C-alpha cells in the first residue's frame, strides 16, 4: 500500500459501515495513509451502509494530516442500484478530470 501511495494523486477508500463506522480494515488503511502523508491531491470515500453511521466523517478525521481536496463521497444503502453505479461512474469522471488538470 505504501508503494502505491507514493505516486497516487487520489486516495479512494472503499468500505462498508460496521457498527456506525468504517470497517476496521478501512480505518486501518486510513490511519496508515495519514501517517505516511502521501502527496495525493484528492480523497474520497465509497461505502455502503445499512442503518446509517458516520463512516465518511470518521475516515475524513483519520486522514486529517493530508492536504487534500475531499471529493463528494458515494454512499449506497444495501446493494447498489443502477443509479448508484452511475453515481460511481460520475465520481470516476470527476477524478479523471481532476487528474487531467494537474
**What digits encode the pLDDT tens for the residues 18-73?**
988 999 999 999 999 999 999 999 999 999 987 778 899 999 999 999 999 999 99
* CB-CB contact of 43 with 5 (8 Å): no
CB atoms near residue 61 (< 10 Å):
11
Are the C-beta atoms of 30 and 1 separated by less than 8 Å? Answer: no
Q: What global pTM score does this model have?
A: 0.88
pLDDT in tens, 72-99: 999 999 889 999 999 999 999 999 999 9
Amino acid at each position: 500500500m505504501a508503494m502505491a501511495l507514493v505516486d497516487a494523486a487520489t486516495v479512494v477508500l472503499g468500505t462498508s459501515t460496521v457498527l456506525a463506522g468504517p470497517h476496521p480494515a478501512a480505518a486501518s488503511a486510513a490511519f496508515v495513509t495519514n501517517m505516511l502523508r502521501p502527496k495525493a491531491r484528492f480523497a474520497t470515500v465509497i461505502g455502503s451502509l445499512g442503518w446509517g453511521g458516520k463512516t465518511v466523517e470518521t475516515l475524513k478525521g483519520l486522514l486529517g494530516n493530508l492536504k487534500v481536496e475531499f471529493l463528494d463521497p458515494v454512499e449506497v444503502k444495501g446493494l447498489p442500484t443502477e443509479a448508484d453505479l452511475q453515481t460511481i461512474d460520475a465520481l470516476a469522471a470527476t477524478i479523471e478530470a481532476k487528474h487531467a488538470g494537474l
